[in-house]
Amino acid sequence: MNNKGEHLINFKGYNFERSLVKMNIVENIDNQDIRDDDIFIVTYPKSGTIWTQQILSLIYFEGHRNNTENIQTTDRAPFFEYNILNVDFAKMPSPRIFCSHLPYYLVPKVFKNKKVKVLYIYRNPKDVLTSYFHFINWIVVPEASKTVEAFMQAFLDGRVVGSNWFDHIRGWYEHRHDFNIMFLSYEDMKKDLRGSVLKICSFLEKELSEEDVDAVVRQATFQNMKSDPRANKDDIMKKEIGTGNDQGTFLRKGTIGDWKHHLTVGQNERFDRIFKRNMKNIPLKFIWDINEE
């Protein structure tokens, strides 16, 4: 374990947020109690984690769907390695839902018995970079990059929480046969939310009525979620983590193609070259613009 910057802690080649990670979980990962019916939402940061957390909360909890229970999604589907609210995992009823940014090689070995279900949500990395840049300059991070160029270099070098984006997605995809895993893109969820909810339900073998599916889709739209205090994380960010100002929000735009407003032609061309080199053998579909089919 070694230190990289004030807010990063590196464990086995992967960067965690020092002030938030529960190293007792990470360092003893194979001793964690994992149930066969556990569900893990796995993402690289800023790729739709909180959105998917809300979707699964709506799918699995009737009280969340019909607004009869005021329970935050962080309690319904807590972060595994970033359990900042100290949810007692052992007391969670099955099936338990967790969120995680872990790379494939740091998850508990029991995942490879293929009973634990892994829902891997990925997003086009130019929008990940853009969202991440705004986020890191909103929260209280002393080393925050003040320019897109500086942050882009840190992002490409893996000097951020989550380490290298290419390593994260390639690792999970290249080892997909080791896991019971489904890949779903953020952009497909944006363009066809209902279809995506149905795919998720099918993968998780969770049957919902048409009425319930309608309720999930209605409440899981970005705008509805942004105004739902159970899901938008603003209170947690300000009270537990700390923000640099009151103007920002945890959920910013949630659009496809916002990178076009931030990357220069030169930066975009450089990113394309690096993307092509790193992803040439990964056939996952990427959508870079809201108008793409």
Active site residues: 101
| Residue partners of 96: CB distance under 8 A and separation at least 6 | 35, 37, 38, 39, 89
Q: Which of 116, 207, 74 is nearest to 216 (CA)?
A: 207
Q: Which long-range contacts (CB under 8 A, 24 or more apart) does 255-258 make?
A: 255/127, 255/190, 255/290, 256/124, 256/127, 256/186, 256/187, 256/190, 256/191, 256/287, 256/288, 256/289, 256/290, 257/127, 257/288, 257/289, 257/290, 258/127, 258/130, 258/131
Residue 288 C-beta-side C-alpha neighbours within 13 Å: 10
Identify the bridge partners of residue 282 per DSSP, sorted by sequence position.
none
Distance CA 14, CA 82 (A): 14
Q: Between vectors from CA 14 to CA 269 and to CA 77, what angle results, nearest 5°?
A: 100
